[in-house]
């Protein structure tokens, strides 16, 4: 466990420190990008194909959209989740528990806040890119291209930042990989099912619909659909607010969790 000697640096975000961590991540990513890209994009694409053409053969339209289009846009948020929360949880845990990478980084002029922020920014950037893959696949299956699709990487980035910080915070408070099972089963799976990715939530009980309004994954799905289908309105400002608020809250939690792990 490293000891941070300069207390004045706690709470500061300096560009050279952020850049240093980001450059390191980019360089490392060049050695394993194939496997990461495969795992982060193939699974959501399989969901798209399975639901779009499996269940889609029984239901042609849903919520006023062709079912393939409905699932294609919903799967974007699923790809963002898979490529941010899970890599953040497992990657962070490995780096501080086994590789001791973070101990080496904060021994340099980089504090924990800068480390967590740079890690989350990098994961969010990847999530914003990977999230577009199911949408591109859906275009080949009939989803009409639209200018609003240009907003999808930015929406994915905002949501990805929050989920990356969520994953980092879980890793920071976990003592073993086994602890992740509780989070995946009790938190991520219910949020995934209440996201409206594969079916609308109109038939759910009213209390479930109220909970869904505070589900960042649900807000991400709705925001992406509004952008892709050209239905953006004032209600979407609330969705952006939820995603930004979620990101800021879990960002601070992630910093606190990692300070607890890394600083004597």
Q: How many domains does the chain have?
A: 1
Whether residue 171 lies inside any domain: the answer is yes
Report the range of poorest mean pLDDT among 87-96, 168-177, 208-217, 250-259: 208-217
Give pLDDT tens digits for 10-42.
Answer: 447 888 899 999 999 999 888 888 887 887 777
State the Cα–Cα distance between residues 208 and 219, nearest whole angstrom: 14
Instruction: Provide the domain limits for residue 186.
Output: 11-262
77 contacts 138 by C-beta, under 8 angstroms: no
Residues in the chain, overall count: 264
Give pLDDT tens digits for 122-143.
Answer: 999 999 999 998 888 888 888 8
Whether residue 41 lies inside any domain: the answer is yes
Whether residue 5 lies inside any domain: the answer is no
**241 pLDDT more than 70:** yes
Terminal-residue alpha carbon distance, the chain: 7
Give pLDDT tens digits for 151-194.
Answer: 999 999 999 999 999 999 999 999 998 999 999 999 999 998 88
Whether residue 170 lies inside any domain: the answer is yes
Based on DSSP, count helices (H) and strands (E) in the chain, helices before strands: 12, 2
State the Cα–Cα distance between residues 25 and 20, nearest whole angstrom: 9
Whether residue 30 lies inside any domain: the answer is yes
Specify the pTM.
0.90
pLDDT of residue 56: 65
Whether residue 54 lies inside any domain: the answer is yes
Whether residue 86 lies inside any domain: the answer is yes
pLDDT of residue 264: 55
135 contacts 217 by C-beta, under 8 angstroms: no
Whether residue 184 lies inside any domain: the answer is yes
């Amino acid at each position: 466990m490293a000891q941070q000697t300069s207390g004045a640096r706690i709470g500061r975000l300096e560009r050279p420190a952020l850049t240093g961590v980001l450059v390191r991540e980019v360089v490392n990513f060049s050695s394993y990008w194939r496997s990461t890209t495969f795992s982060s994009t193939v699974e959501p694409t399989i969901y798209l194909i399975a639901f779009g053409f499996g269940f889609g053969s029984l239901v042609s339209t849903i919520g006023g959209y062709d079912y393939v289009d409905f699932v294609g846009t919903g799967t974007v948020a699923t790809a963002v989740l898979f490529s941010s929360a899970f890599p953040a949880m497992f990657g962070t845990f490995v780096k501080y528990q086994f590789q001791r990478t973070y101990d080496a980084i904060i021994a340099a002029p980089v504090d924990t806040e800068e480390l967590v922020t740079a890690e989350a920014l990098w994961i969010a950037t990847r999530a914003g890119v990977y999230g577009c893959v199911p949408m591109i696949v859906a275009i080949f299956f009939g989803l009409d291209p639209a200018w609003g699709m240009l907003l999808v990487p930015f929406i994915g980035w905002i949501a990805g930042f929050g989920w990356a910080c969520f994953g980092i915070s879980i890793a920071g408070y976990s003592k073993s990989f086994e602890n992740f099972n509780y989070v995946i089963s009790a938190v991520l799976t219910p949020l995934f099912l209440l996201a409206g990715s594969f079916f609308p939530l109109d038939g759910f009980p009213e209390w479930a619909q109220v909970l869904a309004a505070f589900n960042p994954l649900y807000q991400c799905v709705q925001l992406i659909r509004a952008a892709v289908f050209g239905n953006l309105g004032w209600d979407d400002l609330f969705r952006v607010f939820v995603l930004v608020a979620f990101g800021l809250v879990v960002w601070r939690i992630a910093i606190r969790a990692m300070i607890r792990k890394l600083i004597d």
